[in-house]
Amino acid sequence: MQNNPDTTLITPSAPVATATHGGRAKCLQRLVRMDLPVPRTVGLSFGTVANIANGGLPDVSKIVDQFPMNALLCVRPSSQDPDWGGPGAVLNIGMNDARFESYRMSMGEQAASALYSRFIQTYAINVERLDPDMFDHIEGEGRAALQETIAAYEEEAEEKFPQSRRIQLAAVLRSMARAWNGTSARLLRQAKGAPVNAGLGLVVQQMVFGLGTGHCGSGVLQLVDSDTGAPQVTGRYLSQSQGRDALAGDTASLYLTRDPRGPSLEEKLPEAFETIKTYAGLMRQRLRAEMQVEFAIEDGVVHILDGVRVSRSSRAAVRIAVTLAQDGVISREEALMRVQPRLLTELLHRQIDPSVRRDVIGKGIAASPGAATGRLVFDSGEAQASAARGEACILVRRETSSEDVRGMHAANAVLTERGGITSHAAVIGRGIGLPCVVGASSLIFNQRDRTITAKDGRVFHAGDEMTVDGSTGQILAGAAALQEAALDEYFQTLMEWATECADIKVRANADTPQDALTARNFNAEGIGLCRTEHMFFDSGRLTVMREMIFADTSDGRRAVLERLLPMQRDDFTQLFRIMQGKPVCIRLFDPPLHEFLPMDASGQRELAEALGLPRSDVTRRIEAMREYNPMLGLRGVRLGITVPEIYDMQARAIFEAIVDASEDGEEVIAEIMIPLVSARREVEIVKAAIDAVAHAVRQERGVNFSYRLGVMVETPRAALRAGEIAPQCAFLSFGTNDLTQMTYGLSRDDAGRFMSDYVQQGVFDEDPFHTLDHEGVGELLTLGAQRGRAAQPNITLSVCGEHGGNPESIGFCRAAGFDYVSCSPFRVPVARLAAAQLAI
């Protein structure tokens, strides 16, 4: 058999591989090679198990011949990746009437009866697939209970309980092999990333008895805490137990380590305890991972049954990987590869305590991660009032617009009925690290009554407490217990290593000094997009902005903008100072102007009062500015050309801020970006105007300074015509939110309503606003990059849409030769780790 790789006694040299026999078989072989006291084990390959599942007869003789005549056996699953699961283990195969008699003598009637009864029940339920209820009436564990168990089995199965170890083993192998092919098992493992044809191996092991005379028991031990990853011996131990019994309950458990509540294995059997600890340390060193050791003690002697990777929280995963590298067990690169980027998201935000029960009342799109609790408020004013009282609140809106930004800053979370992953609430939420769920259409929103109604009929009013989980999209009734974010030294170390390895840079999208500070703390390599319009919504500025919109002449507009200039200059000066010589890319004004005007009657009345105009004038003007399709209307560079005073003011503010910020001796790298370009001439006109402002400021201030001017590629035409646009500018930054919207002709604010149907029916593999569409939008990116580079070889290429924070999309950008990606500040760590993994 040694030469038959399909059914192999696991010895140091047996031909066993994870890809053919599964992870458990391979791990056991490693333990055997380390000379650990592992009971005799036989591994069955994927092929053998598949053959059994398809009706082939298991060659039981080959297996049982490897074990002593009277030994009991257990069978455990061995899939390629332990996370893919597998059928439950079956212990004590070979138990029968004769064995019972002999165990009765050695371990006592009670223990022997319990052992046999449990085996019959497991066999009946898992192997013969009999009804589990048939044993419900049996109480106790003694001999009488055993006899009732046998009787129940024989009645239901209509045959005697099989006494032959071979017959039992063949049936167990067959049932486990078939269970792997069951629909739910298949769906479950595929959800965890298993391929459709993932194989199952099985391991047959000689049972070690954690039961009997002398000191017997079983348990698990690991050297680190699963929640924090900190070094700490933890685990469970149960005297007179088998398998994973020790994990099942609290009763009769001997503590593993010294414990004030009762006696421990460490005190009672110090030598065995030390031996197990030493083995765990050896496994860490040789298997290059933190392992949980599964052991049994038989008459005081330690046996190692198995080793599995320690289960771990995201925080522990980071600490374990970093510590293994710091101890020289693995390389830094390997440590980086061992942490999934998306796990970092959990570390950066508060989470709902995983141990609490969730009273979920509805679900939407998880648009900005983290969880928060607070009282419901239904408009921005209420949110600000709540914040002023020091009360946590959740802002509920049908959808948000620029007017809600101040409310979002005041709220602890945002919940909207409409919207998708790149809708306003989602983008702002991610930008400021605010938990956000959008498109929660399973709830009924009533803004007028200020209520939310759940599907089960429960109604929640303004002031009621609720929890929003932006990581899962769940909405919960009441205030759930939360866990704090965990940015410890191990996280920082991992991030430093990531930056050393990565070959595509990561910048942050940051609109405010607060965002910029977050970006700097996460070591972003600059600001890749500052959406300046967000600066106009502060209460003092909004009125000025509205005055500007209502001004009739260019001079009138310039006069009003004069008042905004110092505020903008101050904004930019702060950003330059915070970023300490790292590039800051400022996008000129982008949204349609009417976004700044009030839509409701009371807002219009207030505006009429503020401007000293008749209300009818205000209403008429607002009506006249209304557009059928504002996202394709008068916005971006189109405003720059038709209402040039705004860009002039912004350019001046930027240049004066460069001068002010560099007065401290700090280097400033300023970049100016023109949004929504579709034609070369647009760039020429705006560029000439900006250069003229720069010239004027240089003259006035008597100092020289430099800046880089670039174009946002957000329309398909800009990508196609990149060859003639590129020579005008220093960089092209692809705004993949609008580019996706325009390539698909799919509104980023409305797609959320039907996106799940589209994904479910396989029209789209994934939401293209979330993961870059490589085929369509990606082709425009590639074309744009190639044509831009051909015309201007030194041009800097980047992506600043939300895709910039998506690991898969970062891979695409890297392959297409982009210099950097820019994403929301809180996604910077995820992007940095993803970038490092791509380069390794």
Binding region for ligand PEP (CB under 6 A) = 427, 529, 531, 590, 714, 735-738, 800-801
Pick between residue 738 and residue 749 the one whose CB is nearest to Mg ion. 738
433 binds, among Mg ion, ligand PEP, none (CB under 5 to 8 A by kind): none
Residue 591 sits in the site that holds Mg ion (CB under 5 A): no
Residue type at 57?
A: L
Phi, psi of 461 (to 5 degrees): -105, 165
Q: What tokens appear for 481 in the block?
A: 């217990």
Is residue 797 within 8 Å of residue 722, measured between CB atoms?
no
Is residue 806 classed as helix, strand or coil in its secondary structure?
coil
- In the chain, the amino acid numbered 572 is F
SS3 of residue 220 by DSSP: strand
Q: Which residue from 207, 226, 216, 308 is spatially nearest to 265, judged by alpha carbons?
A: 216
CA torsion 143-144-145-151 (nearest 10°) is 110
Residue 364 partner contact from ligand PEP, Mg ion, none using kind-dependent CB cut-offs of 5 to 8 Å? none
Q: Report, in Å, the least distance between residue 748 CB and ligand PEP.
A: 8
Q: Of 343, 58, 55, give the one whose Cα is nearest residue 172.
A: 58
Rounded to the nearest 10 degrees, the angle between the axes of helix 828-839 and helix 489-501 is 50
Least separation in angstroms between residue 675's CB and Mg ion is: 6
In the complex with ligand PEP, the residue whose CB is nearer, 491 or 731, is 731
Shortest distance, CB of residue 649 to ligand PEP, whole angstroms?
20
* Residue 656 contact among Mg ion, ligand PEP, none, beta carbon within 5 to 8 Å by kind: none
Cβ at position 383, least distance to ligand PEP in Å? 23
Binding part of the chain for Mg ion, among 349-357, 391-399, 732-740, 787-795 by CB under 5 A, reads 732-740
Residue 451 bridge partners (DSSP): 446, 461
Q: Which of 316, 215, 235 is nearest to 277 (CA)?
A: 235
| 319 residue type, one letter | R
Beta bridge partners of 93: 73
Q: Which residues ranging from 690 to 719 are in contact with Mg ion (CB under 5 A)?
A: 714
CA distance 231 to 319: 10
Which CB, 25 or 529, lies closer to ligand PEP? Answer: 529
Please choose which of Mg ion, ligand PEP, none residue 529 contacts, taking the beta carbon within 5 to 8 angstroms, the exact cut-off set by kind: ligand PEP
Question: Considering only CA atoms, which of 62, 258, 45 is closest in space to residue 166?
Answer: 62
Report which residue's Cβ sits closest to Mg ion: 738
Contacts of 260 (CB under 8 A, 6+ apart): none
Give yes or no for residue 404 binding Mg ion (CB under 5 A).
Answer: no
Is 339 or 739 the residue whose CB approaches ligand PEP more closely? 739
Left if phi > 0, otherwise alpha if psi is -120 to 50, otherwise beta: which for 450? left
Map the footprint of Mg ion across residues 499-558, applying CB under 5 A. none
Q: Smallest gap, in angstroms, from Cβ of residue 637 to Mg ion? A: 11
Q: Is the separation of the CB atoms in 74 and 207 below 8 Å? A: yes
Contact residues for 611 (Cβ-Cβ < 8 A; gap 6+): 546, 547, 550, 618
Round to whole Å and give the CA distance between 771 and 91: 46
Catalytic residue among 215, 349, 424, 594: 424
How would DSSP label each residue in 184-210?
Answer: HHHHHHHHTT--TT--EEEEEEE---S
- Cβ nearer to Mg ion, comparing 778 with 829: 778
Q: For helices 807-815 and 777-791, give the axis angle rounded to 10 degrees.
A: 40
Residue with smaller CB distance to Mg ion, 424 or 557: 424
| Strand residues in 122-225 grouped as ranges (E) | 200-206, 217-224
Q: What is the 3-state secondary structure (H, E, C) of 263-332?
A: CEHHHHCHHHHHHHHHHHHHHHHHHCCCEEEEEEEECCEEEEEEEEECCCCHHHHHHHHHHHHHCCCCCH
**Residue 749 interacting with Mg ion (CB under 5 A):** no
Residue 749 binds: one of ligand PEP, Mg ion, none (C-beta under 5 to 8 A by kind)? none
**Which CB, 370 or 735, lies closer to ligand PEP?**
735
| Residue 531 binds which of ligand PEP, Mg ion, none (CB < 5-8 A, kind-dependent) | ligand PEP
- Residue 536, both tokens: 């106009």
- As measured in angstroms, the least distance from the Cβ of 420 to Mg ion is 15
Q: Are 758 and 764 in contact (CB under 8 A)?
A: yes
* Residue 424 bears catalytic tag: yes
> Least distance to Mg ion from the beta carbon of 591, Å?
9
Take residue 189 and report the two structure tokens written for it.
């493992």
Q: Is 749 annotated as a binding residue?
A: no
Count of positions on this chain that bind Mg ion (CB under 5 A): 3
Query: Is 271 a known ligand-binding residue?
Result: no
User: Are residues 403 and 380 in contact, defined by beta-carbon separation less than 8 angstroms?
Assistant: yes
Question: What type of residue sits at position 432?
Answer: I
Binding partner of 800, given Mg ion, ligand PEP, none, CB within 5-8 angstroms per partner class: ligand PEP
Beta bridge partners of 437: 366, 415
Residue from 436, 530, 585, 800 carrying the catalytic annotation:
800
Question: Annotation-wise, does 531 bind a ligand?
Answer: yes
736 binds, among ligand PEP, Mg ion, none (CB under 5 to 8 A by kind): ligand PEP
| Residue 738 interacting with Mg ion (CB under 5 A) | yes
Could you tell me the smallest distance in angstroms from the CB atom of residue 639 to ligand PEP?
A: 14
Q: Considering the complex, state which of residue 349 and residue 531 has its C-beta at the smaller distance from ligand PEP.
A: 531
CB of 714 to Mg ion, least distance (A): 5
Partner interacting with residue 469 (select from ligand PEP, Mg ion, none; CB below 5-8 Å by kind): none
Exposed/middle/buried for 68, CB within 10 Å: 0-12, 13-18, 19+?
A: exposed
Helix (H, G, I), strand (E, B) or coil at 379: coil
Q: Considering beta carbons, is residue 290 or 590 the nearer one to ligand PEP?
A: 590
- The verdict on whether 534 is a catalytic residue reads no
Give me the residue whose beta carbon is nearest to ligand PEP: 735
Alpha helices in 394-538 (DSSP H): 405-410, 424-432, 489-501, 513-521
SS3 call for 585: strand
Judged on CB neighbours under 10 Å (0-12, 13-18, 19+), 472 is middle
Q: Which is nearer to ligand PEP, 352 or 800 (CB)?
A: 800
Measured from the CB atom, the residue of 235 and 420 that comes closer to ligand PEP is: 420
Q: Does 737 show up as a binding residue in the annotation?
A: yes
With vertex at residue 797, the alpha carbon angle to CA 792 and CA 803, rounded to the nearest 5 degrees, is 155
Least distance in Å: CB of 673 to ligand PEP? 10
518, interface contact from Mg ion, ligand PEP, none, CB < 5-8 Å by kind = none
Choices 101-109, 281-289, 735-743, 809-817; region in contact with Mg ion by CB under 5 A: 735-743
735 binds Mg ion (CB under 5 A): yes
Query: Does 587 show up as a binding residue in the annotation?
Result: yes
* Partner that binds at residue 801, options ligand PEP, Mg ion, none, CB closer than 5 to 8 Å by kind: ligand PEP
65, 64, 76: which is closest to 28 by C-alpha? 76
How far apart are alpha carbons 518 and 311 in whole angstroms? 31
Q: How near is the Cβ of 676 to ligand PEP at its closest, in Å? A: 8
- Positions at the binding site for Mg(2+): 714, 738
- Positions at the binding site: 531, 587, 714, 735-738
Q: Which residues bind Mg ion (CB under 5 A)?
A: 714, 735, 738
Residues annotated as part of the active site: 424, 800
- Positions at the binding site for substrate: 531, 587, 714, 735-738
